[in-house]
Structure 1
């Protein structure tokens, strides 16, 4: 159906995104206080947790989408990370992480491991290593409160949805493909759905809930060389560099030509003088011989 669109978003922790939208109010989605391990107030874990969450917020101030940090040693070590949605601005990401770090301590007080999702970010901490791992648990499913209804073709809806999802699978690979396979079980018959896990999240709606990226900047037009000026007769004037290239060899040729001419002139004159001197001596000898006769 031409009038029908499905709007889709995906966040994946190994993909870097460009910030696109301004900060706005953050919609809480879900949270899970994982494992049964808790900490006591007199241990080092709560202070390490506070330091970790504060550092995450500072990282969000310098980054646009993803950050991670660990604080402490051994059993009191806290590892934490955040992931902001791809169309967030820096301000939006920072504000969402600030809200999440405050809320997760309230909702999961004394837990050593927890995760919280907002519409625009996810924050997670644990007493174990959670970096460079593909975690698909715990997860949450949030279906749109509205069903598809009779005014929309269910088959057309599913066809459009499958096409969009498999386009994303090629980009987000294993984590997202697992979330797509769960749509029939947890999102069937819903106009929208949000599937949340620590490593990736997927959402589709029938309305635009994200801001489209700006159009790519146009490449600068190639610079053209300055036009060659014309003299009054309409002929192109040669540049000063061209004139220099022409005048230097021409001047050298003129100097060489006159030097050769001067050499020939001097040499020829010297020969004439020598010939005259030889001729004068011959006349004197002839006169001497005649007088002797």
Structure 2
């Protein structure tokens, strides 16, 4: 056998191996898009820490135990327990496609991560793809929390950023209008998609359901206004705060069945 034949076979095998690896990577990324990935957390040091068997710790444990009695059909629980200075406020908001058992599972994960990442902090927040969990010794209900905020975005850029940015803003603004209209079943959540040439653009907006619909709109309008700062020309991006968030991608990222 000639050296050239061996060389060609080696190149062929190498190319096939690279194709196999790429397929595995694509499948992995696709599956990750539907998982409940950890996103971010913030531990506040201003409010201080508590001891496990202190009144604050006992009130927090009471609230957590009480939350597990919920069926999570609304995908949202908020409550408070105890007297000052040991009152605990807690809020769980699950993504609009992740109610019921998915929401309960996300709560379990969020509690575990919050205790691990912010041990004994009186005030903390943790975000996952499918839920956020927040605790505090002071009330934050019905107020916009934009102090706890972060950006996420794709490293890939689109070919026509100006047009893409404009259409992304239009989609998210339209979804905000739908999510915050008056209705008997106000979810403060909306999803949608638009055709952009040969590809689709998928979007989602959501607020925590302690907010009034007008306050939710204010929250979403504000973070949508941060699109240029966050995600200029990126194929996907998010602005996530403690009260509202949006996400857009050029691939489906939501569960179709609750």
**Alignment TM-score, normalising by the size of structure 1:** 0.59
Q: How far off is 1:83 after superposition?
A: 0.5
Match of 2:124 in 1: 114
Contact 1:70–1:79 (8 Å) recurs in 2? yes
- Give the drift of 1:43: 2.4
Match of 1:167 in 2: 174
Aligned to 1:157: 164
User: Cα RMSD between the aligned structures?
Assistant: 2.0
Say which SS state the counterpart of residue 122 (structure 2) adopts: coil
Kept after mapping to 2: 8 A contact 1:52/1:80: yes
Q: Deviations over 1:159-210 (max 9, x none)?
A: 3212202102323411100110111112223221121112111111111001
Q: Give, in whole Å, the separation in 2 of the partners of 1:129 and 1:166.
A: 29
Kept in 2, the 8 Å contact 1:56–1:81? The answer is no
Cα distance in 1, alignment partners of residues 35 and 74 from structure 2: 17
> Any unmatched runs of 5+ in structure 2?
1-33, 181-216
Does the residue aligned with 1:58 lie in a helix, a strand or coil? coil
Structure 1 distance, partners of 2:174, 2:245, is 15
Find the counterpart in structure 1 of residue 233 from structure 2.
Answer: 189
Cα pair distance change 1:102/1:58, threshold 3 Å: farther
> Contact 1:138–1:198 at 8 Å: present in 2 too?
yes
Is the CA contact 2:106–2:131 (under 8 Å) kept in the aligned structure 1? yes
Is residue 82–residue 122 contact of structure 1 (8 Å, CA) maintained in 2? yes
Pair member with larger Rg = 1
Corresponding residue pairs, total = 187
Question: Unaligned regions of 5+ residues in structure 1, if any?
Answer: 1-23, 215-293
Residue 143 of structure 1 contacts residue 192 of structure 1 at CA under 8 Å; is this kept in 2?
yes
**Which residue in the other structure is 2:208 paired with?**
none
The equivalent position to 2:58 in structure 1, one of 39, 47, 50, is: 47
Deviations 1:17-75 (A, max 9, x none): xxxxxxx742111111124222232521112112222222333x343311111121111
Q: Which residue of the partner structure matches residue 207 of structure 1?
A: 251
1:40–1:154 Cα change, 3 Å: closer
**In the alignment, structure 1 residue 103 sits paired with structure 2 residue 110:** no
Q: Quick one: which of 90, 95, 110 aligns to 1:85?
A: 95
Instruction: From the two aligned structures, give the one with the greater helix fraction.
Output: 1
Q: Secondary structure at the match of 1:74?
A: coil
Question: Which structure 2 residues correspond to residues 253-272 of structure 1 after superposition, within 5 A?
Answer: none
- Matched with 1:148 is 157
